[in-house]
Amino acid sequence: MDYSDIASVAGKGGLFKIVKPTRTGVILESLDDKKQKLVASATQRISVLSDISIYTTDQEGSRPLEDVFRQINKEFNNDLGVTPTSAPDELKAFIKHIIPDYDPQRVYVSDIKKVINWYNALKENAPKLLEEKVEKKPEKEAKKKKSE
């Protein structure tokens, strides 16, 4: 499973695994233990996690959600110190610790709550996605180094 296999649906809580596309939309399955199936039509707003990023004030302008989740996991692992019901100032301090150059004008408290909810869902149901990405060397380079 990858970040491109997980989606959020507007109006529905939680995250969903993309099962397969249909003629009129996509079949989704909830990531939690219930494994509820949902057929999302093309009229519903579906956001794939690999396409979501957090606004920043640096030159790039945003940071991929995948990187944010890995940073949270690296820094906090199981104890975030905040919950989605924490005070807005605590939530802003949390995201500022993770992304020092986040854009407070464009990142709302509701967005930070979603990040925390989604992180917790992934931690529980797909913890491998939160681990650091190991860069694989292309096979040609690996073979080249062995022959030297």
Assess whether 61 and 108 both reside in one domain. Answer: yes
- In this structure, the answer to whether residues 64 and 43 fall within a common structural domain is no
Provide the residue range defining the domain that includes 39: 3-49
For the record, the structure tokens of 22 come out as 């249909």
Question: How do residues 77-131 score in pLDDT, each as one tens digit?
Answer: 778 889 888 999 999 999 999 999 999 999 999 999 999 999 988 888 888 888 8
Asked whether 16 and 7 are in contact (CB, 8 A), the reply is yes
Structural domain ending residue among the three candidates 33, 49, 65: 49
**Residue 128: phi, psi to the nearest 5?**
-65, -25
How confident is residue 64, by pLDDT bands cut at 50, 70 and 90? very high
Give the C-alpha distances (Å, rounded to integers) separating 22 from 7, 10, 19, 125, 147. Answer: 16, 19, 10, 25, 49
30/36 Cα distance (integer angstroms): 5
76 and 45: one domain? Answer: no
Look up the CATH number of the domain holding residue 114.
1.10.10.1650
